[in-house]
Amino acid sequence: MEVVESGEGELFLPPRMNEDRQWMLKNKSWALEPKVMSESDAVRKFIHEGDYIGTELYGFVRCPMSLAREIVRQKIKHLRVAGQGIMEIDILIAAGLVDKIDLTYLGYEVYGLSPVLRRAAQSGRLQINEWSNAALAWRLKAAALGVPFLPVRVMMGTDTFKYSAAKVVECPFTGEKVCLLPATMLDVGIIHVHRADEYGNCQIDGISGFAFETARASRRLIISCEEIISTDKIREYPEKTIIPWYLVDAVVEAPFGSHPGEMPYYYWRDEEHLSWYVEASKTEETTQEYLQKWVWDLKSHEEYLALVGKEKLDLIKSKAKGR
Amino acid sequence: MEYNQTELLICIASRQMEDRTSAFIGTGIPMLAAALAQKTHAPNLMPVFEFGGTGAKLEELPLGVGGSRSFYRALAASSICDVMEAAQRGLIMYGFVGGAQIDPYGNLNSTIIGDHDKPKVRFPGSGGANDIGSLVWRTIAIMKHDVRRFVEKVDFITTPGYLTGPDAREEAGLPPGTGPYRVVTDLALMGFDDKTKRMKLLAVNPGVSVEQVVENTGFKLIIPEKVEKNEPPTEEELKILREEIDPTGLYI
């Protein structure tokens, strides 16, 4: 198979199929062992300086915000990040923790562009590879498959390709050009779900974004959940288990863990809080003030929720849509 | 009935979509255009959102392509791979894209102005735009029309249009028969010339002259002998838009 063209971007972590297989053999367990712990312990135990991490979410929806805030609290530096990033990657960048990013989109959707990304990109201190949304998800899919790449038909002919780490080859079967996406085999995946049991069997309501792929692309997987349910409940609806226990290393109970983002069927986004963040993000100084107030001055997600206040939490809960 | 520019854009975009097809919907105007099409001439236009919501009723406007409302009362709530793979398989007809710049071949930039590694301005990046521009049959771009945005050469091709001209998409490896279909702006409606694949004026918006469109385009636009006139929003369209689709005025 001849390589016709190569993207110029650095491959932050080359696919490590066999190393990961060995790693899984040594480190993953099929035993039903309780994995419930605090976000502070989960992050301290499983995320290390320089790690390549991935977050899964869709915009301001089902975001692992409590875990992202904990990474900021612990100031784990020199991270390489892959993700469809909105606020969770924004705060990691704002705290100066990210060196390299496999980026598809970083902005505030209806609320506009991200000044945090702008400052980091325009100063040249953040190394950015470009990808499309499907490419990012398919790269995780390749990792989940345990293969080094996946041939797809996006990105070709564009600068998005040129500044990625993908390659175009001639297909050995059809002779047509296809784009090969390198597998993203993550050190740590971070996902927020609706429900999980103490072993890490996870249920998600509504669309599932790229949670399936991210969970299977990660060595270590930290799950935060709105509620911990019994394993009996999991066994009642085994078809709902989108992430099974043997993939999971930590389960953190985090009600309103997606705040200020929304959680389908559970609570609506905190539009007031988001407007504070969007406003604060406009200058470096006010961004740091936001992080000081909402992350560094607090010890835990519990303290964060206390600062948000019960009234606000009740309000966003009342605005959630039913079925 | 009076109307604003956003309402006009929504109405014109909405009229481009046929019934009984599918459309990949982005945040903002495309959502309103699809909702309006559903409630007027295309009740069986099926919205597809990139994080997995398919066939939603769009009774309330989603705030993002993965928002709860993107799959409220939908027919399927799946995943990003599922819907992107449907597009790659040839199942999705329309897709909406936008950007900071567009060139004569419909290539779009939503990534940077200047040098990639130390840009003058950084935009959000592709998101689903490159996928939509690569895979759906007909891409519809929605843009503000001025010389800063309609440029001879974009600073960065985020999303493929016809690239460098005839056959360039196929040569690059993109699926044959796909590509830019319409460009909807506050001034006019554009299509693409079959032979040269360059942008061609199809119709001007109410009160806009052909000269005005030419003046606001930073490249040579093909002007056919006969240029149509876009009809202003009808009373029915405006009523549905204001009372049913966006009653709180989030976008319009």
Confidence of residue A121 (pLDDT cuts 50, 70, 90): very high
C-alpha closest to that of A259 among A38, A55, A47, A68: A68
- For B181-229, what is each residue's pLDDT tens digit? 999 999 999 999 999 999 999 999 999 999 999 999 999 999 999 999 9
Q: How many CB atoms lie within 10 A of CB B57?
A: 14
C-alpha closest to that of A151 among B224, B197, B88, B147: B88
Distance of CA B13 to the CA centre of its chain: 7
Q: Which tokens belong to B32?
A: 């309103």
| Mean of per-residue pLDDT scores for chain A | 96
Q: In chain B, pLDDT over 70 holds for what percent of residues?
A: 100
Confidence of residue A225 (pLDDT cuts 50, 70, 90): very high
Tell me: ipTM over 0.90.
yes
Is A153 touching B (CB cutoff 8 A)? yes
Is A104 touching B (CB cutoff 8 A)? yes
Contact B173 A176 (CB under 8 A): yes
Catalogue all structural domains in chain B, each as residue range(s) with its CATH number.
5-245 (3.40.1080.10)
Catalogue all structural domains in chain A, each as residue range(s) with its CATH number.
3-318 (3.40.1080.10)
Catalytically active residues of B are: 50
Question: Residue A85 pLDDT > 80, yes or no?
Answer: no
Q: Chain A partners of B111 at a C-beta cutoff of 8 Å?
A: 130, 159-160
Query: What is the model's pLDDT at position B60?
Result: 80
Q: Give the number of C-alpha atoms closer than 13 A to the C-alpha of residue B196, restricted to the C-beta side.
A: 10
Mean pLDDT within A226-239: 98
- For B98-125, what is each residue's pLDDT tens digit? 899 999 999 999 999 999 999 999 999 9
Task: Please report how the helices A115-122 and A284-291 are oriented relative to each other, as an axis angle in degrees rounded to 10.
Answer: 120
d(CA B70, CA A62): 14
d(CA B52, CA B65): 9
**In a mutagenesis test of the A interface, which of B134, B157, B174, B251 is the best target, namely the one with the most A β-carbons within 10 Å?**
B134
Question: Residue A84 pLDDT > 80, yes or no?
Answer: no
Query: What is the model's pLDDT at position B26?
Result: 81
Pairing of strands A177-182, A167-170: antiparallel
For A86-145, the DSSP string reads SHHHHHHHHTT-EEEEEEEEEB-GGG-B-HHHHHHHHTT-SEEEE--HHHHHHHHHHHHH
Q: Chain A partners of B64 at a C-beta cutoff of 8 Å?
A: 58-61, 109-110
d(CA B66, CA B18): 24
Q: Does residue B126 contact residue B160 with C-beta atoms inside 8 Å? A: no
Task: Please report how the helices B80-88 and A133-145 are oriented relative to each other, as an axis angle in degrees rounded to 10.
Answer: 110
